[in-house]
Chains A and B, each alone.
Chain A
Amino acid sequence: MARAVTPRRKALNTAIAWIIGLLIFFPIIWVFVLSFKAEGDAIKAPLEVLSSPWTLESYSVVQERSDYFKHFWNSVILSVGSTFLGLLVAVPAAWAMAFVPGKRTKDILMWMLSTKMLPAVGVLYPIYLLFIQLGLLDSRLGLVVVLMLINLPIIIWMLYTYFREIPGEILEAARMDGATLRSEILYILTPMAVPGIASTLLLNVILAWNEAFWTLNLTAANASPLTAFIASYSSPEGLFYAKLSAASVMAIAPILIMGWFSQKQLVRGLTFGAVK
């Protein structure tokens, strides 16, 4: 829809858009600023906060006192582990549905999507009970499996929409030239599928990293990722703004950077191909 406009109009657009953009982004900037302040300064009025000295103190305190890295590692293991496990199950399934579609393929896809609609709280106690019975409560293994299962429909759907874009003629041509199934998959399909798989991986790591229902309810001290670690700041003692800010910055920075790379995939992944 981009059309030629006068420089004045463009300048006006730019000004309005930047102001709104910065307003929306401001809470993140503010947390970033507070994370570099001393506790006593972080609760002052905004202008005094800005003029107070900058320090890295909070970052070192958070790391020393609260095993920040344990929770960080839990987040990494949970998000990456559940995503890889999910891909392991989803790639063959999406592959089969995209390249060998049957009469019921569409129904299966829709049914898979419907499992995503199941409200988590509706099945909270059964899962909780099963976790106790199987000794999985507060274990990373249990959460990897749960996070994999809740994101599996999204993974399959995203992969399916990517795989469907790979033209079937190429496969037929390769087959005519005498390519075996193995070399077909290895040399033709895989290179074409890699970008789609990579985007799926990226988006699902983000979704799993930020998941905050199962991670809050199924973990305690051992397996809790950053979502639960941050939640422990909800009943704080004493001054804690700077420490909370430092912990928050460390928790969201990696995913914010990944998120910026996955803007486009976000639309595809979360609308199940309904908006392109």
Chain B
Amino acid sequence: MATQHSRSAARFMMAPAVILLLGWMLVPLVMTLFFSFKKYLPLRGDSMANGLEWVGFENYVRFISSSSFWPSISATLIIVGGVLLITVVFGIALALLLDQPMWGQGIVRILVIAPFFVMPTVSALLWKNMFMDPVNGFFAHMLKSVGMQPIEFLSQHSLLSIITIVSWQWLPFATLILLTATQSLDGEQLEAAEMDGASWPSRFIHIILPHLSRAITVVILIQTIFLLGIFAEIFVTTGGAFGTKTLTYLIYQRVLESQNVGLGSAGGVYAIILANIVAIFLMRIVGKNLDA
């Protein structure tokens, strides 16, 4: 079907997209790599025009040996891991629940999915002020009404609070994808297993979970990529204080707040490598699906 003529037409049609994405990827990437080997402090008079001093791998070493590096890695891992755990476990439970026959299924699904469409800055401020505020927040009022001390969520349990906020935003995504996968489950197989006397836990472990494994993997990988980059949720709640400085936030502070571009760029290269490790696994799964 594809003639020489249609081939060249196809190439012509693809060209703008390919060129734009190539530029979008390469130009900033090359610049980040370039800056990461330079001493570049714009506030102290360094500029591209005057030429930047080459410092080799000094920025890379300094970024890792700075006292905030390892805490930022652990904050990132705790937040990403915590959110993944909560969204996957509750996502499976909710997907199985929503798949059951019930009245008003469509409306319940809408209620569950809604948080995903709330913009990150709104959901972060909403939780911070209306719910977690130690004086006027909803939780504070509830605790006071039963005679308990209000909790300063965002300063005393900062990581847990961030995990709660981000999980609320991403649970709908996990639920929706797992629900889509659940709906393709073979009902007859389940019924047969039930008639053979398989208990609910064994049906869950041997039939449902294997069926969902692919969707679970996809949820984990896609969420990880997005979660590694969460920014607004931290920006408007703690601003990186109280141990919530993730790798993304640390790099942001280095680059824009303290304007140490060389150091921040070295951090950026680390972040890119980290994201690529996750991406390779995701790409494999997606790639397999393309062949099918």
Contacts and interface: CB of A to CB of B under 8 A. Distances in A.
A176 interface: no
B33 to A, nearest CB: 10
B20 A152 contact: yes
B89 interface: no
Interface string B100-133: 1111110111111111111111110111111100
A1 B182 contact: yes
Interface residues of B, number: 115
Contacts of A256: 114, 117-118
A1 B97 contact: no
A28 interface: yes
Contacts of B115: 24-25, 27-28
A56 to B, nearest CB: 19
Contact of B29 (A123, A149, A217): A123
Chain B binding site: helix, strand, loop or mixed by DSSP? Answer: helix
Given A1-B99, A117-B275, A251 B122 contact: yes
B114 to A, nearest CB: 6
A123 B32 contact: yes
A188 interface: no
Contacts of B269: 122
Contacts of A248: 122, 125-126
Contacts of A252: 117-119, 122
Nearest to B182: A1
Nearest to A267: B180
A198 interface: no
B114 A106 contact: no
B147 interface: no
Nearest to A93: B17
A100 B290 contact: no
Contact of B141 (A22, A45, A95): A45
Interface stretch (B61-69, B77-85, B280-288): B280-288
B282 to A, nearest CB: 8
A173 interface: no
Interface in A9-65: 10, 13-14, 16-18, 20-22, 24-25, 27-28, 30-31, 34, 43-46
Contacts of B248: 119, 121
A113 interface: yes
B228 to A, nearest CB: 6
Interface string A200-215: 0000001001101100
Interface stretch (A125-133, A135-143, A189-197): A125-133
Contacts of B251: 121-122, 124
Given A100-B7, A130-B28, A227-B121, 7 more contacts: A2-B187, A17-B97, A24-B171, A126-B29, A248-B122, A252-B118, A267-B176
User: What are the 7 tightest A-B residue pairs by CB atom distance, in nearest-first order?
Assistant: A259-B117, A123-B28, A126-B31, A122-B268, A92-B13, A96-B10, A212-B232
